[in-house]
Structure 1
Amino acid sequence: MHMDSTTEIIAHFIGVFSQTVEDVRLRLDYAKFAAEREAPPETGDLLDIKLTMTSPYTLGQFAPKVTYAPPSFDIVPTVAISFLSHQPVPLHMPPGNMTKVFAAPHQHHMPGMSERMIPEYEPIGSLALYLRQEAHLTDNDMLSIGDHGLAMKAVGDPVAALAKLMGAASQLQPLADMDGLHTEADAGGFIQHVTQAVDTLPDAAPAGGTLFVAQGAAAAGIHVNGESVEEAPVLEDLLPAKFQPPAEETSEDGDGDAPVPTGVDYSLSSMIELEAGGNLLVNEAVLANNWYGVPVVAAAGDYVHVNAISQTNVWSDCDAVSDALGGWQRLTDTPTQAFNVATIETIANPAYGEAAGGAGFPSYWQVSRIDGDLLIANWIKQVSFVQDNDVTVMSACGGGTTITLGDNTVVNIASLAELGVYYDLIIVGGSIYHGNIISQTNILLDDDLVGTVGDFQTSGEASLSTGGNLLWNQASITQYGTMSFEGLPPSFQAAADTLASGPADAPDDLLHHEAFGGLAGLKVLYISGDVIDLQYISQTNILGDADQVALAMDQAGAYADADWTVSTGTNALVNYAHIVDGGVDSTVYAGGDVYSDELLIQAELISNDSGLYMQDATALVNEAVVFLSDDLLAPDAADDGAPVHDGAGPGAGSADVMQTMLS
């Protein structure tokens, strides 16, 4: 039935209302007959079980090496002949094809074991690794803080002063230049160059420096700054407190879980902290070379072996401090320290342990050959170059203010371990060049200028630190296996000549050499050319931290009781290198000349003439600080009205504006 719109709406509403009422009634009825909810199960008591465990196995002492002796076996000559009789299965073959395939019973001959079917294997070949790690950082900040109305420009040329220190260091470091390493000949030539490194050093250290050179047995052991010691110092004990791990503090009741909060108390009216130094530069490299080991080496040519460490610390810490700061608590009594720590040691390592010197001699050899030269070279160079020359003029302001212009960290780390194959004998048709060489250099420019402007003064607590730097070089060469040298016997020379033409049987005199007693067979590596074994680590830290700080009063004369803490030093330059040369006790037979040496160079130079500050601090600050007027604050205008920006002006800073303001 058709209804008007009003009636349709009313009817629709009544229907919806009726459905809603029914839904409510159903819910009420369901609630009356709802089933009882299931009660949660009872958990019961917790089990208390005590376990007692025992083990028959205990840990033994740590064994840094594993001695391996190859199992002995005998080759017995024999001839085996077998007769196999069989009846062929009759097959239908097309006429004229494969005639006489099926013959009468026949015999098969097996090769005799006396023919010595020795398995062949591929030797481990050359290895060359070139690793260069460089970190460059420029953090030259220019900061002006406080209502003092002043600006400051840099004094002197810190870049030129740092370059001067670098030139002085190059005269005392003969092992740092290896940019010419491109071929195998370059590697062998550098090892020979190291043997003449002492000749390139000056006759005596320059003024303000020390130079220590030791060769041969005098270079072995532990040396610290040119003196032989029984125990090397520990880096963690000498690092500045800034870089030490935080000490664990406990509350008065001894509860270790409630640490006492430490830090700065900012409840004072005004406290200014300035950190313009605090840079940490670290180069670390560990190289373990165990590519081959052999108890007997025979070289038709020369044998050259050298272990060399060269360490140099060059630094300048000539600070210019205003006389007005003489009454402050001076922390500069902690001077800059420099350490050269070197360790060269050789550890005996018998090739066969208790199996050596047994009865009988080998009856065959197993030769693996390399035609050409064998190059085993690891070349690691690490360089950290940081410039942190900060210029700031500041006055106290309300509350606590912490300003960090330095506090940079640069780290280069490399760790290599190379494992190869051990042999009983290595025969070399050419010469052998073996070198483990470490070069370490630290260069620091920390000439700081800290002065006052006008009638600057404070009645609060104040401290100033412009030194406290640490320069640390630590190098170690650990060689496993002693060496003895003799002339080349005729049997080894004959073996080298024979193998040069191709595979051959072992000379009987060689097999019955006393060094091979107790072995069933010889594992031999033949190299027709030269052997170049070079392990080289070069580490250099260069830091320019010539900070210039001017302290001024607030224009309103406020905050005269502010507390000041100013630090422009406390830098740490650390080089750590360790070469582990794996091997066994060996006898070297050389047909040519033999050169084996250990070399240690430790140098230090303290510069007092960087040329940065030629006047006293008060005069320098007065020349560098200018009062800003409205004319100086407004930009200069050219004829066309465009502003002219002069980078040499007193307000000039780094091109990175945000970094300068927020670093």
Structure 2
Amino acid sequence: MYAYLPPYDEIIAHFIGHWEFSEETARLRHELLTFRYRENEVPDEEALRLHELDVIQPHAIKYFQPGVEHTPHPYEFYGHSPIDPARIKLEPKPAKRPAEQDDSEPSHKSLPSGVIGYVHREAGPDLGPDPGEVLFVVKQQIFLEDNDVLDLGGADRPLVDLTVTPRLAEMLADTVAVNPFSALDVPSDVSSMGDFVIAVQQTIAADDFAPDHLVASGDTLSGIYVNGEMAEEAPLLDDLLPEPFQPQDTPEPAEETVQHEASSGAEASLDLMAGGNLLVNVAQLSNSGMLTGVIGVQGDVRQLDVIVQSNCVSDQDTLVGEIAASVAPPTMALNVATFTHSQLDIASSTRSGDTEAGPSNWSVTVVQGDLVFAQWLVQATFIYDNDIHVLNSTGSQSNFVTGADLAQNITSFSALGTYYDLIIIGGTLYDANFIVQSNVLLDDDFISGDGYAGSVSTGGNLLYNGASISNIGAGGWALGLPSHYQQALEDAEDGDRPAMPSGFLSDADYAGMSGLSVLIVTGSIFDLHYVRQLNVLGDADQVAIAQAAILDDQTANWQVTTGSNALINLAAIVDVDTLGTGAYVDGVVYSDAILIQADILSGGDGGRFDPDVLVTEAIAFLGADAGDDCGDSDGVIAAPTHHDASLDAMQSMLV
């Protein structure tokens, strides 16, 4: 069917739709107004409740200890309780258990019905802290090969000095020979530590023991020794250092002034530093691992303090031509050794006011076997600075440094332990301190040139050994071990927790002390400290100054330094044995102290050669023209023009 809609009907329907849409929009808007944002509620103004937590710890927290045992109550109840409480009775006194009965087994007795009995069980002593062991073995070694060649032209280059290797090896052998104990075997295990100490003391006790450089020996030594002589105080190292290592004062900046001057350029100068090497070994060992107020030794006591110091120097300079060296400080070699002994009585300050009462209990630590406190340190420095120089005028300011090497080994170690009021040793006490120091310097310089105007410094070297051994402990040993000490040691060998013998209750050493902290070692104690320090420096420089350069430039300021080296060894051992005055020994006391100080001047008297005399060494260094007649060539080491071999003078010694 076909229907015709006039245009106005369509317009009416359109407006009706708009009307319904507007009505729906208004309805939705009305519904949304009901979801108005609700204002924030006022928070509760009541104060927050504070809950205080009681953090008091009723049990003291101690160090961690694995395998903690539970000690039972000293009273162990047995029997049964009847139904009627009125019939329960207790014995007026505890019935002690028979001594032959095992404490680990509970006691059961047949008692009348309705009776509860108890028996007293003796509790064992508290377990003390573990002392621990210290085994410190360190080797520090520095090797540097700094053989430079500086050739500015204008003169023949000196040849390589092949005699440095055998000369250094010979000098090192001389320093080793100073130590009379160098042939002894180094300890490789705990058992050989005691053998090493015994071997040293047997060497000292031998009838033919007479080292060449022995300064002092005896049971003990005390005081300061400088180059074999007693001194009031030791020289300060800072005052002895060569000039390159002295602190430089920085001048205050001056007010700036503007000046306009005509300048013809920088003044010509040439500075050469072929020396100025610094070798330092520093060691500080401190042992406080066995702190005690009183010590008792059932075996022997072996005490040993040894310091061996040696300086070996060859400073034989050769000046060829019209060169005149400036006046430089001479080479200094110093050996400084210090022995000190001090006694403290810290234990007496910890006692209570009641000096008559003895200790009523103790805490004990038992070590089955040996206890080791060993510190073994070796420091060695090898530097080879054998330079070759051919100097010529540069017409300007020139600064060349072929030396100024720095090598240092530094070690500081402290062994801290636990304090015990008493230490009982079933074996032997080995207490030994060793310091061995050596410096080897080869500074044989060769300088050639004619008409030279300037300063040449070939000396001013320093070789310094400083050693100190400080012992803190009881002043003397009382012969004989008290019986209650021996009883405690025997009980410790049978079990881990021995009871305190009654003799300690009346021992005057512990009067006024409420309890004792005791360490019992069934074996021996090894308290060994060893420091070995070695510096080896080869600084045999060769300088050839071109004659043409000097003739062309007479106003140039030349400064040549081939010395000013410093070889320094510093070592200190602080050995704390006891902090009280009591020391008992049941065996024999072997005590030795020895000091050896040597200054070895190698290669002659150290003076300079006559400039007019050309020795065969100079000919070997500088070479000769084809037309020169050098005479008999026997004894002259012919050095090749090109030498590619290593100049490791001590290569065989480092293996």
Give the equivalent residue in structure 2 for 1:61.
none
Alpha carbons of 1:551 and 1:281: their partners in 2 closer, same or farther (altered >3 Å)?
Answer: same
CA distance in 1, matches of 2:317, 2:116: 96
- Structure 1 stretches lacking a partner, 5+ long: 1-76, 87-105, 259-264, 630-646, 657-663
Using the TM superposition, give the Cα deviation of residue 380 of structure 1 relative to its aligned residue in structure 2, in angstroms. 0.9
Alpha carbons of 1:387 and 1:610: their partners in 2 closer, same or farther (altered >3 Å)?
Answer: farther
> 1:608 and 2:603 equivalent?
yes
Asked whether the 8 Å contact 1:396–1:553 carries over to 2, the reply is no
Give the equivalent residue in structure 2 for 1:152.
158
From the CA coordinates, give the structure whose radius of gyration is larger.
2
User: Which of 560, 563, 567 in structure 2 is aligned with 1:569?
Assistant: 563
Asked whether the 8 Å contact 1:134–1:384 carries over to 2, the reply is yes
Q: Tell me the amino acid that sits aligned with residue 157 of structure 1.
A: T
Deviates more, 1:239-248 or 1:151-160: 151-160
User: Which of 321, 327, 345 in structure 2 is aligned with 1:331?
Assistant: 327
> 1:223 and 2:225 equivalent?
yes
Using the TM superposition, give the Cα deviation of residue 308 of structure 1 relative to its aligned residue in structure 2, in angstroms. 2.2
CA distance in 2, matches of 1:272, 1:525: 70
Give the equivalent residue in structure 1 for 2:398.
401
Alpha carbons of 1:199 and 1:367: their partners in 2 closer, same or farther (altered >3 Å)?
Answer: closer
Give the equivalent residue in structure 1 for 2:188.
182
Q: Please state whether the residue corresponding to 2:548 is helix, strand or coil.
A: coil
Alpha carbons of 1:520 and 1:490: their partners in 2 closer, same or farther (altered >3 Å)?
Answer: same
TM-score by length of 2: 0.72
Asked whether the 8 Å contact 1:464–1:565 carries over to 2, the reply is yes
Q: Considering only aligned residues, what root-mean-square deviation do their CA atoms show, in Å?
A: 3.5
Using the TM superposition, give the Cα deviation of residue 408 of structure 1 relative to its aligned residue in structure 2, in angstroms. 0.5
Give the equivalent residue in structure 1 for 2:242.
240
Alpha carbons of 1:282 and 1:395: their partners in 2 closer, same or farther (altered >3 Å)?
Answer: same
CA distance in 2, matches of 1:266, 1:197: 74
Q: Tell me the amino acid that sits aligned with residue 139 of structure 2.
A: R
Q: Please state whether the residue corresponding to 2:594 is helix, strand or coil.
A: strand
CA distance in 1, matches of 2:264, 2:246: 24
Give the equivalent residue in structure 1 for 2:364.
367
Alpha carbons of 1:116 and 1:163: their partners in 2 closer, same or farther (altered >3 Å)?
Answer: same
Alpha carbons of 1:325 and 1:126: their partners in 2 closer, same or farther (altered >3 Å)?
Answer: same
Q: Please state whether the residue corresponding to 2:289 is helix, strand or coil.
A: strand
Using the TM superposition, give the Cα deviation of residue 239 of structure 1 relative to its aligned residue in structure 2, in angstroms. 0.4
Q: Please state whether the residue corresponding to 2:167 is helix, strand or coil.
A: helix
CA distance in 2, matches of 1:368, 1:276: 61
CA distance in 1, matches of 2:264, 2:189: 62
Give the equivalent residue in structure 1 for 2:45.
none
Asked whether the 8 Å contact 2:344–2:581 carries over to 1, the reply is no
Using the TM superposition, give the Cα deviation of residue 343 of structure 1 relative to its aligned residue in structure 2, in angstroms. 1.4
Give the equivalent residue in structure 2 for 1:102.
none
> 1:354 and 2:349 equivalent?
yes
Using the TM superposition, give the Cα deviation of residue 176 of structure 1 relative to its aligned residue in structure 2, in angstroms. 5.7
Using the TM superposition, give the Cα deviation of residue 469 of structure 1 relative to its aligned residue in structure 2, in angstroms. 0.4
Using the TM superposition, give the Cα deviation of residue 445 of structure 1 relative to its aligned residue in structure 2, in angstroms. 1.1
Asked whether the 8 Å contact 1:320–1:450 carries over to 2, the reply is yes
CA distance in 1, matches of 2:184, 2:562: 35
Mapping for residues 294-443 of structure 1, pairs under 5 Å: 294-326=292-324, 330-332=326-328, 334-356=329-351, 358-443=355-440
Q: Tell me the amino acid that sits aligned with residue 279 of structure 1.
A: N
Q: Tell me the amino acid that sits aligned with residue 318 of structure 1.
A: Q
CA distance in 2, matches of 1:579, 1:509: 37
Alpha carbons of 1:84 and 1:301: their partners in 2 closer, same or farther (altered >3 Å)?
Answer: same
Cα deviation code 1:204-256 (max 9, x no counterpart):
64xxxx55233345x20111112222221111111011011221322568xxx
Q: Please state whether the residue corresponding to 1:378 is helix, strand or coil.
A: strand
User: Which of 142, 164, 167 in structure 1 is aligned with 2:170?
Assistant: 164
Asked whether the 8 Å contact 2:474–2:583 carries over to 1, the reply is no
Q: Tell me the amino acid that sits aligned with residue 237 of structure 1.
A: D
Q: Please state whether the residue corresponding to 2:386 is helix, strand or coil.
A: coil
Asked whether the 8 Å contact 1:141–1:653 carries over to 2, the reply is no
Using the TM superposition, give the Cα deviation of residue 181 of structure 1 relative to its aligned residue in structure 2, in angstroms. 2.4
CA distance in 1, matches of 2:136, 2:74: 49
Cα deviation code 1:496-521 (max 9, x no counterpart):
22321113322222442221111122
Alpha carbons of 1:569 and 1:223: their partners in 2 closer, same or farther (altered >3 Å)?
Answer: same
Alpha carbons of 1:535 and 1:203: their partners in 2 closer, same or farther (altered >3 Å)?
Answer: closer
Alpha carbons of 1:555 and 1:247: their partners in 2 closer, same or farther (altered >3 Å)?
Answer: closer
Q: Tell me the amino acid that sits aligned with residue 120 of structure 1.
A: L
Give the equivalent residue in structure 1 for 2:252.
250
TM-score by length of 1: 0.71
Alpha carbons of 1:338 and 1:202: their partners in 2 closer, same or farther (altered >3 Å)?
Answer: farther
Deviates more, 1:373-382 or 1:389-398: 389-398
CA distance in 2, matches of 1:382, 1:358: 51
Deviates more, 1:525-534 or 1:482-491: 482-491
Asked whether the 8 Å contact 1:500–1:528 carries over to 2, the reply is yes
Give the equivalent residue in structure 2 for 1:516.
510
> 1:467 and 2:459 equivalent?
yes
Q: Tell me the amino acid that sits aligned with residue 286 of structure 1.
A: Q
Using the TM superposition, give the Cα deviation of residue 268 of structure 1 relative to its aligned residue in structure 2, in angstroms. 4.7
Cα deviation code 1:318-358 (max 9, x no counterpart):
111125113x5x133x1100111111112221032434582
Using the TM superposition, give the Cα deviation of residue 600 of structure 1 relative to its aligned residue in structure 2, in angstroms. 2.0
Mapping for residues 574-593 of structure 1, pairs under 5 Å: 574-582=568-576, 583-593=578-588
Asked whether the 8 Å contact 1:428–1:526 carries over to 2, the reply is yes
Using the TM superposition, give the Cα deviation of residue 547 of structure 1 relative to its aligned residue in structure 2, in angstroms. 1.3
CA distance in 1, matches of 2:394, 2:645: 25
Q: Tell me the amino acid that sits aligned with residue 584 of structure 1.
A: L
Deviates more, 1:173-182 or 1:492-501: 173-182
Mapping for residues 251-290 of structure 1, pairs under 5 Å: 251=253, 268-290=266-288
Give the equivalent residue in structure 1 for 2:60.
none
Using the TM superposition, give the Cα deviation of residue 197 of structure 1 relative to its aligned residue in structure 2, in angstroms. 5.3
Give the equivalent residue in structure 1 for 2:519.
525
Alpha carbons of 1:649 and 1:144: their partners in 2 closer, same or farther (altered >3 Å)?
Answer: farther
Q: Please state whether the residue corresponding to 2:252 is helix, strand or coil.
A: coil
Alpha carbons of 1:203 and 1:528: their partners in 2 closer, same or farther (altered >3 Å)?
Answer: closer
CA distance in 2, matches of 1:553, 1:307: 58
Q: Tell me the amino acid that sits aligned with residue 433 of structure 1.
A: Y
Give the equivalent residue in structure 2 for 1:134.
141
Asked whether the 8 Å contact 2:157–2:544 carries over to 1, the reply is no
Asked whether the 8 Å contact 2:317–2:607 carries over to 1, the reply is no
CA distance in 1, matches of 2:216, 2:118: 68
Alpha carbons of 1:211 and 1:270: their partners in 2 closer, same or farther (altered >3 Å)?
Answer: farther
Q: Please state whether the residue corresponding to 1:358 is helix, strand or coil.
A: coil
Using the TM superposition, give the Cα deviation of residue 491 of structure 1 relative to its aligned residue in structure 2, in angstroms. 2.8
Q: Please state whether the residue corresponding to 1:236 is helix, strand or coil.
A: helix
Alpha carbons of 1:109 and 1:601: their partners in 2 closer, same or farther (altered >3 Å)?
Answer: farther
- Structure 2 stretches lacking a partner, 5+ long: 1-72, 84-113, 257-262, 627-637, 648-655
Q: Tell me the amino acid that sits aligned with residue 481 of structure 2.
A: L
User: Which of 528, 532, 542 in structure 1 is aligned with 2:536?
Assistant: 542
Aligned-pair identity (%)? 33
Alpha carbons of 1:446 and 1:109: their partners in 2 closer, same or farther (altered >3 Å)?
Answer: farther
CA distance in 2, matches of 1:272, 1:319: 21
